[in-house]
Amino acid sequence: EVQLVQSGAEVRKPGESLTISCKASGYTFTSYWIGWVRQMPEKGLEWMGIIYPGDSDTRYSPSFQGQVTISADKSISTAYLHWSSLGPSDTAIFYCARHGELFPFDSWGQGTLVTVSS
Amino acid sequence: AIQMTQSPSSLSASVGDRVTITCRTSQGIINDLGWCQQKPGKAPRLLIYGASSLQSGVPSRFSASGSGTNFTLTITSLQPEDFATYYCLQDYNYPITFGQGTRLEIK
Please tell me what DSSP assigns to residue A102.
Answer: S
B1, B91, B99 ranked by CB distance to A104: nearest: B91
How do residues B62-101 score in pLDDT, each as one tens digit? 999 999 999 999 999 999 999 999 999 999 999 999 999 9
- State the smallest CA–CA distance between residue B103 and chain A in angstroms: 11
The residues, any chain, with a CB within 8 Å of residue B2's CB and separated by 6 or more, are: B25, B26, B27, B29, B90, B92, B93, B97
- Residue B40: cis peptide before it, omega within 30 degrees of 0: no
Q: How does strand B102-106 pair with strand B10-13?
A: parallel
How do residues A58-90 score in pLDDT, each as one tens digit? 999 999 999 999 999 999 999 999 999 999 889
- Cα separation, B66 vs B49, in Å, equals 11
Asked if B57 is an interface residue toward chain A (Cβ–Cβ < 8 A), one would say no
Mean pLDDT of B42-55: 97
Mean pLDDT of B38-47: 98
Q: What is the pLDDT of residue B83?
A: 93
Q: CA A101: distance to chain centroid?
A: 19
Write the single-letter amino acid at A33: W
Task: Kindly determine whether residue B89 and residue A110, on different chains, have CB atoms separated by under 8 Å.
Answer: no
Q: What is the pLDDT of residue B28?
A: 98
Asked if B96 is an interface residue toward chain A (Cβ–Cβ < 8 A), one would say yes
How do residues B14-27 score in pLDDT, each as one tens digit? 999 999 999 999 99
| Cβ density class A87-111: b for 16+ within 10 Å, e for less | eeebbbbbbbbbbbeebbbbbbbeb
Task: Kindly determine whether residue B95 and residue A105, on different chains, have CB atoms separated by under 8 Å.
Answer: no
Q: Please answer whether residues A56 and A76 qualify as being in contact, where contact means their C-beta atoms are separated by less than 8 angstroms.
A: no
Task: Kindly determine whether residue B101 and residue A111, on different chains, have CB atoms separated by under 8 Å.
Answer: no
How do residues A20-61 score in pLDDT, each as one tens digit? 999 999 999 999 999 999 999 999 999 999 999 999 999 999
Q: What is the pLDDT of residue B31?
A: 96
Q: What is the pLDDT of residue A78?
A: 98
Mean pLDDT of A84-110: 95
DSSP H helices, B28-98, are none
Mean pLDDT of A87-106: 94
Q: What is the pLDDT of residue A89?
A: 86
- State the smallest CA–CA distance between residue A35 and chain B in angstroms: 10
Q: Please answer whether residues A95 and A39 qualify as being in contact, where contact means their C-beta atoms are separated by less than 8 angstroms.
A: yes
Task: Kindly determine whether residue A95 and residue B55, on different chains, have CB atoms separated by under 8 Å.
Answer: no
Q: What are phi and psi of A110, to 5 degrees?
A: -80, -10
